[in-house]
Structure 1
Amino acid sequence: MFEQQPQNLQLHVQQLANEALQKAEPSAWFEVLYAEAQGDTTQIPWAKLSPHPYLQEWLAHHQPFVKRQKALIIGCGLGDDAEALAKLGFEVTAFDISATAIAWCHQRFPDSSVNYVVADLFALPAQWQLGFDFVFECRNIQALPLNVRSSAISSVASVVAPSGVLLLISRVRDTEAEPSGPPWPLSELEFKQFETLGLQEVKKTVYQESEQFDVKQVRIEYQRSSLA
Structure 2
Amino acid sequence: MFEKQPEGLRQKVKLLATEALNKSDPSGWFDRLYSQANRDPDQVPWARLKPHPYFQDWLNKNQPQGNHRSALVIGCGLGDDAEALARVGFNVTAFDISPTAIAWCQQRFPNSPVSYVVADLFALDPAWRHQFDLVLECRNIQALPLNVRSTVIDAIAALVAIEGILLLITRFRQTEAEPDGPPWALSNQELAQFQDLGLEEVQRDSFIEAENPSVQQLRIEYRRARKVR
**What TM-score do you get using the length of structure 1 for normalisation?**
0.98
Deviation at 1:226, TM superposition (A): 1.5
User: Gapped runs of 5+ residues in structure 1?
Assistant: none
Which residue of structure 2 lines up, in the alignment, with residue 188 of structure 1?
Answer: 188
Aligned twin of 2:53: 53
| Offset at residue 65 of structure 1 (A) | 1.5
User: Unmatched 5+ residue regions in structure 2?
Assistant: none
Conserved 8 A contact 2:92-2:115: yes
Show the counterpart of 2:95: 95
Letter paired with 2:98 = S
Q: Which residue of 2 aligns with 1:27?
A: 27
Superimposed CA distance per residue, residues 133-169 of structure 1 (whole angstroms, 9 cap, x where no aligned partner): 0000000000000000110111110100000000000
CA contact (8 A) 2:209 2:217 kept: yes
When residues 3 and 61 of structure 1 are mapped into structure 2, their CA distance, relative to the original with a 3 A threshold, is: closer
Instruction: Show CA shifts across 1:169-228 (max 9, x none).
Output: 000001000000000000000000000000000000000115865100000000000222
Instruction: Kindly tell me the number of residue pairs found equivalent between the two proteins.
Output: 228
Task: Specify the SS of the correspondent of 2:42.
Answer: helix
Q: Does 1:113 align with 2:97?
A: no
Displacement, 1:56?
1.0
CA RMSD across the alignment: 1.1
Change (3 A) 1:38 1:27: same
Report the CA distance shift for 1:152/1:89 in structure 2 as closer, same or farther (over 3 A): same
2:151 alignment partner AA:
S
AA at the equivalent of 2:115: N
CA distance in 1 between partners of 2:210 and 2:69 (Å): 36
Aligned CA distance change for structure 1 residues 210 and 175 (closer, same or farther; 3 Å): farther
Q: Where does residue 43 of structure 1 map in the other structure?
A: 43
Q: 1:108 deviation in Å?
A: 0.2
Whole-angstrom CA distance in 2 between matches of 1:105 and 1:130: 26
Instruction: Name the CA shift for 1:198/1:111 in 2 (closer, same or farther; >3 Å).
Output: same
Decide whether aligned partners of structure 1 residues 211 and 188 sit closer, same or farther in structure 2, where only a CA change above 3 A counts.
farther
What is aligned with 1:200? 200
1:56-95 matched pairs, under 5 angstroms: 56-95=56-95
- Range with greater deviation from structure 2 (78-87 or 208-217): 208-217
The residue matched to 1:122 in structure 2 has which SS? coil
Shift of 1:88: 0.4
Q: Quick check: 1:172–1:185 contact (8 Å CA) kept in 2? A: yes
Aligned to 2:163: 163
Q: Is the 8 A contact 1:210 1:216 kept in 2?
A: no
Provide runs of 4+ in structure 1 moved above 3 Å: 210-213
